[in-house]
Amino acid sequence: MEKSFIPKLEKTAVAKEVALEKVSHLFKPLGQETINKNGEITIENNSIKIVLSYEDINLGIEDTPRSEEEFIGTQLGARERALIKFLDFKPEDYSLLKNYSIQNKINGSLINLNEELGENTKYVKKGGEDMSESASHYLNTYIKLNIEPKSAAGILTLMHEVGHKKDPAIDPLEIMLVSIGKEKEESILQKEMIDRERYAWAYSLSQLRPYLPGLNITKNAIDIFVHKWALGSYSASINPEIFEKETRGIFAKLIEYFKK
C-alpha cells in the first residue's frame, strides 16, 4: 500500500453490531408522525419538522434493457425498469419518495430535496431500517435508500447519497467505462472509493449542521456512525489491521469476504 494512501484510511473501525448498540438512538423516530388526507407525512419534534410523501411504484418490465448500451439510450421510464435488471431491484419492496423537506424550527433553515436533486428519482425501501446497500446511480438517475428517512440515521444516509450526486470529482463517463471493463489498478480504485465516500459523508454533515442538535446527533455519534462504522468498514476492507481489538472476532468473516 502506498504511503500516501494510508492517511486516507480511518484509524479504527467497529462492527455493525457494535455500532448499532452504541448509536441505537439514531434509528428511533424523531417525533410524532401524522398523515393528512393527501397522504403527506409530517414528523415533528421541538426543533425539527420533516415533511415527505410517497407514491407507489408502477413499472412495466416488458422492455427492460439487457445491455449497458440499451440502458444508456433509454428514456427515464426505461431507466427505472433497468434497475430491475441490473440491481435486482424489486419494485414491490420500495416506494417512490415524491417530496421531502427538513426544517429547523429554531432558525428557519430548510432543505428541500426536490430543489437539491431536480428530476432525480428517489426510492425508499418500505419499512427500511438498514443503511446498508443504499446507493446513488452514477448516471444520475436515482437514489435507492434501504432505510426510511424518518430517523437521524435515515436522514444522514439520505444526504450522504445526495452528496454522491454533488461530488464534482465523479466522472460518469469514466465510471461507465470502468463498469464495462476498463481496468484500473486496485490501489487506485481503493483510493478513489475512500475519497468518494469521504466527500459524500462530509457533504451530509455540512448540509445537516444546523439540524444536528434537533436530530440528537452528537460528535460521539458522528465518530461511531460515520467514521468507525461507515468509513471504517471501507478502510477495514483495505487494511484489516485497523479493526478495534474487541471487535476483530466479529469482523473475521468480513475480512475473508474482502480477500476473495
Chain segment 113-149, per-residue pLDDT in tens: 888 776 667 889 999 988 877 887 665 567 889 999 9
Output 8 or 109, whichever has higher pLDDT: 109
Q: Helix H segments across 67-138? A: 68-73, 76-86, 113-117
Segment 48-66 mean pLDDT: 79
Amino acid 244: pLDDT:
66
Whether 111 shows a pLDDT value over 60: the answer reads: yes
Whether 208 shows a pLDDT value over 70: the answer reads: yes
Distance of CA 172 to the CA centre of its chain: 18
Q: How does residue 75 score in pLDDT terms, banded at 50, 70 and 90?
A: low
Residue of 99, 85, 93 lying closest to 57 (CA atoms): 93
Q: Are 97 and 122 in contact (CB under 8 A)?
A: yes
* 3-class secondary structure, 199: helix
Amino acid 5: pLDDT:
61
pTM, 2 dp: 0.82
For the chain, the residue count is 260
Whether 1 shows a pLDDT value over 60: the answer reads: no
Amino acid 206: pLDDT:
96
Whether 33 shows a pLDDT value over 90: the answer reads: yes
Amino acid 34: pLDDT:
96
Whether 72 shows a pLDDT value over 70: the answer reads: no
Residue 237 grid cell: 476492507
Whether 181 shows a pLDDT value over 60: the answer reads: no
How do residues 153-175 score in pLDDT, each as one tens digit?
999 999 999 998 888 887 766 65
Kind plus residue range of the DSSP H or E element containing 75? none
Could you give phi then psi for residue 143, rounded to 5 degrees?
-125, 135
| CA 55/CA 39 separation, integer angstroms | 9
Output 74 or 37, whichever has higher pLDDT: 37
Amino acid 256: pLDDT:
53
Triad 182, 185, 187: Cα angle to 5°: 140
Whether 251 shows a pLDDT value over 60: the answer reads: no
Amino acid 58: pLDDT:
72
Amino acid 255: pLDDT:
47
